[in-house]
């Protein structure tokens, strides 16, 4: 039998999906990440959501500006390494006071195997904050629903860029022996 904690560890992508739907998100742009794979599959299967795969993360930042100008709400999914690619494009959001909801799965901070992930993982939150993005972090799976809901409201009701960092502790260790 699964413990409550194990159950929680497998359903958090469903929690995210439900919160996105509840908040009227109709556009989902992503650079694939293993931590987001279940969520990406659910979004692809959802008819009310337009799901766009990107070649690089800053494309999604620019896309979210157009989405909101057109009256739609979107979410941008990426891994922490992709945050570095977004910085100049985020200037549009501060200057135009546009909302963006970024959902970032962290690498390089908790039980990491790949040393090349550590530099960007260590500067992800600071880089976002320097670019004018409000950053909230989730350490435990059971916090995701509440935090994401709060961040979606903050972003779309006040027209501000907001990022939710899903810490590596939530995702678990990547299995390198597979």
Partner 1 sequence: MAAKKTSAKGMDRRAVVAALVKDRGDALVVTGLGSSTYDTFAVGDHDLNFYLWGGMGGAAMAGLGLALAQPKRRVLVITGDGEMLMGIGSLATIAVAAPKNLAIAVIDNGHYGETGMQRAHTGLGVDITGMAKAAGIKSSTTLRSMNALKAWLKTWHHKSGPVFADIKVAAVPAPMRLPMRDGTAIKHRFRTALLGNAAFD
Question: Near partner 1 by CB under 8 A, which window of 9-17, 55-63, 128-136, 141-149?
Answer: 55-63
| Shortest distance in whole angstroms from residue 57 CB to partner 1 | 11
Does 55 participate in binding partner 1 (rule CB under 8 A)? yes
CA pair distance 147, 134, nearest whole angstrom:
13
Question: How far is C-alpha 136 from the chain's CA centre?
Answer: 11
Q: 12 or 30, CB closer to partner 1?
A: 30
HSE on the CB side for 140, CA within 13 Å? 5
The length of the chain is 178
Alpha-carbon distances, residue 48 vs 22, 26, 51, 149 (angstroms)? 12, 6, 10, 19
Does 63 participate in binding partner 1 (rule CB under 8 A)? yes
Site string for partner 1, 2-41 (x = CB under 8 A): ------------------------xx--------------
**CB–CB of 107/117 below 8 Å?**
yes
How many other C-beta atoms can be found within 10 angstroms of the C-beta atom of residue 17?
21
As a whole number of angstroms, the longest Cα–Cα distance in the chain is 52
Among 68, 78, 145, 151, binds partner 1 (CB under 8 A): 68
Among 17, 35, 39, 59, binds partner 1 (CB under 8 A): 59
Site for partner 1 in 84-113 (CB under 8 A): 88-89, 91-92, 95-98
User: Which residues form the interface with partner 1 (CB under 8 A)?
Assistant: 26-27, 50, 52-56, 58-72, 74, 88-89, 91-92, 95-98
């Amino acid at each position: 039998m699964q413990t409550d904690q194990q159950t929680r560890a497998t359903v958090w992508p469903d929690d995210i999906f439900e919160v996105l739907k509840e908040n009227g998100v109709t556009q989902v742009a992503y650079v694939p990440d293993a931590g987001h794979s279940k969520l990406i599959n659910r979004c692809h299967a959802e008819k009310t959501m337009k799901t766009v795969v990107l070649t690089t993360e800053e494309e999604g930042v620019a896309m979210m500006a157009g989405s909101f100008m057109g009256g739609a709400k979107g979410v941008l999914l990426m891994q922490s390494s992709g945050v570095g690619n977004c910085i100049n494009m985020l200037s549009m959001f501060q200057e135009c006071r546009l909302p963006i909801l970024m959902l970032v799965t962290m690498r390089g901070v908790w039980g990491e195997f790949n040393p090349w992930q550590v530099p960007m993982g260590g500067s992800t939150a600071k880089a976002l904050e320097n670019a004018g993005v409000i950053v909230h972090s989730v350490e435990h799976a059971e916090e995701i629903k509440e935090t994401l809901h709060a961040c979606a409201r903050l972003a779309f009701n006040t027209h501000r860029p907001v990022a939710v960092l899903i810490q590596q502790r939530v995702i678990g260790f990547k299995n390198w022996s597979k």
